[in-house]
Amino acid sequence: MGNMATEITAFLLTISGWILVSSTLPTDYWKVSSVDGTVITTATFWSNLWKTCVTDSTGVSNCKDFPSMLALDAYIQVCRGLMIAAVCLGFFGAILALVGMKCTKIGGSKTTKARLTILSGFHFILSGLCCMTACSIYARRITADFFDPLFVAQKFELGAALFIGWAGSVLCILGGLIFCLSLSEGFSIRAEYSYNGAASFPTTRNKTSKPAQRPNKETQEPLRQFGRNAYV
């Protein structure tokens, strides 16, 4: 029962993390223009993995999609690939978790369900690592441009999408680790129980077995006399 409760807790953590990771991909505010040292702000620039936008003082936004994938910076292409991989890995991990959890009636034997659940844990861990890497690469580029004294273009700050992505990746990694550790502990307990049972079986058999009885001397004497008479 405790193992089932642990699986449900891990499933809720991973699903919550995967939802946050998936919502990070289309979120607009990956980076927002900095107002440091600016007295009057007439427009706010913000950007994500797919477009760049500007919002004027009246609240009207004008967006422009990135014209060509090949013309993009390398870090944006890497972040796109990692985020898409994170969403796909989390999706397959959720399916494997639903099939492999003990509270579901599908998936086959207990051993098969346990293996599927461990595999789903690895999927969620990889999903969280991909999202965390993508957000960290994007944030590093923003901070590098912000603190570069030779960078004269518009400087940006970290957007809300990055913090959402980091939070989702932590939940995915934590839930995936709980999946793997809980089931590996169950496997070790089961293996120890089977080993102790196999070791105790011959001991019990030896205790119940009776030693062979030696023939009495009275029964041996007629046999010896019979052998002598036959020889004569």
pLDDT of residue 204: 46
DSSP state of 74: H
Burial class (CB in 10 A: 0-12, 13-18, 19+), 204: exposed
CB atoms within 10 A of CB 177: 16
pLDDT in tens, 104-129: 887 678 888 888 989 999 999 999 99
Burial class (CB in 10 A: 0-12, 13-18, 19+), 136: middle
pLDDT in tens, 154-169: 888 999 999 999 999 9
Contact 142, 158 (CB under 8 A): yes
Strand (E) positions, the chain? 31-33, 43-47, 51-56, 61-65, 156-158
pLDDT in tens, 45-94: 889 899 988 888 777 888 888 888 888 889 999 999 999 999 999 999 99
Burial class (CB in 10 A: 0-12, 13-18, 19+), 163: middle
CATH no. for 2-29+69-192: 1.20.140.150
CA 133 remoteness from chain centre = 15
Q: Which two tokens stand for residue 59?
A: 């609240």
The residue ranking higher by pLDDT, 216 or 98, is 98
Please name the helix (run of DSSP H) or strand (run of DSSP E) that holds residue 174, with its range, or none: helix 160-208
Pairing, β 156-158 against β 31-33: antiparallel
Pairing, β 51-56 against β 43-47: antiparallel
pLDDT of residue 184: 60
pLDDT of residue 224: 52
